[in-house]
Amino acid sequence: MAVDLSHHLSVETKARLANPMKTIWRLAQGKLKAGAITLANGDPHPSLFPLSRVDFHIPDVSVDDPVEAWRHGDYQEQILSTTVSGSSPLALRTAMQYCAGKGTTELCNTLQELNLVLHTDVPQNNVILSVGNADAATKCFRLLASPGDNFLAEEFSYPGITNSPLCHGLNWVPVPIDSDGIVPDALDHLLETWDSAVQGRRPHVLYCIPVGQNPTGGTLPMERRRKIYELAQKWDIVIIEDDPYYFLQFDHLPSQEPHTNGVNGLNGVNGHSKQKKWIDHFAPSFLSLDVDGRVLRIDTVSKVIAPGMRLGWITCSELFHRHLESLTDSSTQHPHGWGQIFLSELFRQPPHGWGPDGFLRWCEHLAIEYKRKRDLMITEIRIGLGDDWGTFADCDVPAGGMFVWLRVNVEQHPNFASDLTASDSLLPQTNTAYLMKELFQSCLNNGVIVMPAATFAIQHQFRRPDETHMLDVRSCPVLLKREADDRAQKSNFLRLSFGGTDDAIVKGSSIL
């Protein structure tokens, strides 16, 4: 049973009126099935959609290594098809029509079933579609953020998403991380020492990226996840779990174990698929730990199918689901029909689609491919640095995702200065930020583009609910200036993506 978390809803959410036409639309669904006639909706009739059939050509994943076969053009093709009113679970007439904000019932049911395959347990299995995780996160922020609220995020995070609620008056509070991700004791300390009289409402939401964190590449181990969930209960925090790299986890890949494939290469011994064995090693998602209904998990197909698919799903409690659907009903509406058809067909059991096992098989081989690229990048950088690896630069080996977080040991630079000011001054203590800018510029001049850590630094904003514009850091209290400086001192990293071609990885690493 979910606990009552309605006090987390934002001013905007509480003020939102349900779209009255969608309310009637929902009421009508049962009546229509019983033979009622509708004169209510401005829906174009499907007989006037100039569409008769859609086919998606995809690789057959029952071969030994579908990603390798696909890359070399040596693959069997499988076709996902649907027609206007054919026997597909999601015919064109349904997929291309208006529907409720959550998306078609057919695809939502399919994704609920997928959730049960992916996670050990899903106590709160209510699904609403999104236009990818950027859209999903933005909607979750609007669901929960009132002006002047404080939200927690890893101290380096993904600005494409963390920027979005700033104009709604949200303040970010950076949470210390190490190479594994959020440090639970630091999170507890931050909340324990929070002074509401000075700092405003205690943070009530944590936005985090648990696998292959963007930008640092860290993956939260099981123990930390359990502790963070316990802290969320202790301090009454809602967790937004943004997990686009969930399927790109590099440990325990089954293809590195002896083959035990059965029919079509998809099923292993004792009825357990090998892919299921692989994901059984993943640390549990926050969703699967969630007994209270305080987790909003956001999934996307961007990194495992294609970003242009613009489709994802949010899984959450019934309360949050209802309000997210209301927001969607009065804004973007449900996502496009093309993607809903694609995913519905893709998750049909073979021979129609890949089914969950075939999808995981594709993901497993993608993960093998990304792991190979990760190793190539780290090897190339190590070769380039030779004996200076560890002196000039080094990195941890990411267990998932698409990024290497390269530590640049700026103190080795001949122009490094650490005694700029006395420790009680408000000026930066070292010239790390300046040297990193210089390095970025030098890379650019030599033909390689990298992402400097400063791009991802979460700056603690400081703004009360009645203040409409953000305060400049120079007018912030001393404490916050120190914090900003602290982040600058930690910004001696570059985020390097190993998502490109081998050629780009080798040449780029060499220039770097």
Residue 214 near which of ligand PLP, ligand PMP, none (CB within 5-8 Å, type-dependent): ligand PLP
Beta pairing partners, 57: 79
Q: Residue 42 has which token pair? A: 């401005």
Q: How far is the CB of 51 from ligand PMP (least distance, A)?
A: 16
Q: How deeply is 1 buried, as exposed, middle or buried, from its count of CB atoms within 10 A (0-12, 13-18, 19+)? A: exposed
Q: How far is the CB of 90 from ligand PMP (least distance, A)?
A: 19
Q: How far is the CB of 332 from ligand PMP (least distance, A)?
A: 8
Residue 126 near which of ligand PMP, ligand PLP, none (CB within 5-8 Å, type-dependent): none
Residue matched to tokens 């993904």? 158
Q: Of the two residues 326 and 432, which places its CB atom closer to ligand PMP in the complex?
A: 326
- Cβ contact 351:49 at 8 Å: no
First to last CA, the chain: 53
Residue 42 near which of ligand PLP, ligand PMP, none (CB within 5-8 Å, type-dependent): ligand PMP
Site membership for ligand PLP, residue 132 (CB under 6 A):
yes
- Part of the chain binding ligand PLP (CB under 6 A), chosen from 84-92, 128-136, 218-226, 268-276: 128-136
User: How, if at all, do strands 393-394 and 403-408 pair?
Assistant: antiparallel
Who contacts 50 (Cβ-Cβ below 8 Å, separation ≥6)? Answer: none
Q: Of the two residues 106 and 242, which places its CB atom closer to ligand PLP in the complex?
A: 242
Site membership for ligand PLP, residue 307 (CB under 6 A):
yes
3-state helix, strand, coil in the chain (%, to 5): 45, 15, 45
Dist CA 165 CA 134 (whole Å): 12
Task: Tell me how far CA of residue 494 lies from CA of 2, 10, 456, 512, in angstroms.
Answer: 41, 36, 10, 10
Among 330, 333, 409, 461, binds ligand PMP (CB under 6 A): 333
Among 244, 254, 339, 508, binds ligand PLP (CB under 6 A): 244
Q: Of the two residues 337 and 452, which places its CB atom closer to ligand PMP in the complex?
A: 337
DSSP 2-31: ----GGGS-HHHHHPPP-HHHHHHHHHHHH
Residue 54 near which of ligand PMP, ligand PLP, none (CB within 5-8 Å, type-dependent): none
Among 141, 158, 347, 498, binds ligand PLP (CB under 6 A): 158
Site membership for ligand PLP, residue 214 (CB under 6 A):
yes
Residue 333 near which of ligand PMP, ligand PLP, none (CB within 5-8 Å, type-dependent): ligand PMP
Dist CA 163 CA 463 (whole Å): 15
Q: In the β-sheet with 393-394, what is the strand arrangement from edge to edge?
A: 393-394, 403-408, 493-497, 451-452
Q: Of the two residues 132 and 268, which places its CB atom closer to ligand PLP in the complex?
A: 132
- Cβ contact 353:342 at 8 Å: no
Q: How far is the CB of 43 from ligand PMP (least distance, A)?
A: 8
Among 91, 107, 143, 161, binds ligand PLP (CB under 6 A): 161
- Part of the chain binding ligand PLP (CB under 6 A), chosen from 147-155, 197-205, 300-308, 358-366: 300-308
Which residue, among 453, 469, 470, 452, has the nearest Cα to 461 in the 3D structure? 470
**Closest-approach residue to ligand PMP (CB):** 42
Site membership for ligand PMP, residue 97 (CB under 6 A):
no
Who contacts 508 (Cβ-Cβ below 8 Å, separation ≥6)? Answer: 448, 496, 500
Which residue, among 18, 66, 24, has the nearest Cα to 41 in the 3D structure? 24
Site membership for ligand PLP, residue 133 (CB under 6 A):
yes
Q: How far is the CB of 335 from ligand PLP (least distance, A)?
A: 11
3 state SS of 124: coil
- Cβ contact 131:311 at 8 Å: yes
Site membership for ligand PLP, residue 103 (CB under 6 A):
no
Q: How far is the CB of 120 from ligand PLP (least distance, A)?
A: 23
Q: How far is the CB of 111 from ligand PMP (least distance, A)?
A: 23
Site membership for ligand PLP, residue 209 (CB under 6 A):
yes
Site membership for ligand PLP, residue 347 (CB under 6 A):
no
Site membership for ligand PMP, residue 112 (CB under 6 A):
no
Residue matched to tokens 């590099």? 250
Q: How far is the CB of 341 from ligand PMP (least distance, A)?
A: 18
Site membership for ligand PMP, residue 35 (CB under 6 A):
no
Q: Of the two residues 239 and 324, which places its CB atom closer to ligand PMP in the complex?
A: 324
- Cβ contact 453:436 at 8 Å: yes
Residue 262 near which of ligand PMP, ligand PLP, none (CB within 5-8 Å, type-dependent): none
Identity of residue 494: L
Which residue, among 197, 211, 209, has the nearest Cα to 152 in the 3D structure? 209
Dist CA 428 CA 421 (whole Å): 7
Count of residues of this chain found to bind ligand PLP when the rule CB under 6 A is applied: 13
CA atoms lying within 13 Å on the CB side of residue 117: 21
Q: Of the two residues 216 and 275, which places its CB atom closer to ligand PLP in the complex?
A: 216
Site membership for ligand PMP, residue 42 (CB under 6 A):
yes
**Scanning residues 395 to 454, which ones bind ligand PLP (CB under 6 A)?**
none
- Cβ contact 259:315 at 8 Å: no
Task: Tell me how far CA of residue 152 lies from CA of 202, 206, 281, 396, 458, in angstroms.
Answer: 10, 5, 28, 24, 10
Interface residue list for ligand PMP (CB under 6 A): 42, 333
The binding site for ligand PLP (CB under 6 A) comprises: 132-134, 158, 161, 209, 214, 242, 244, 300, 302, 307, 312
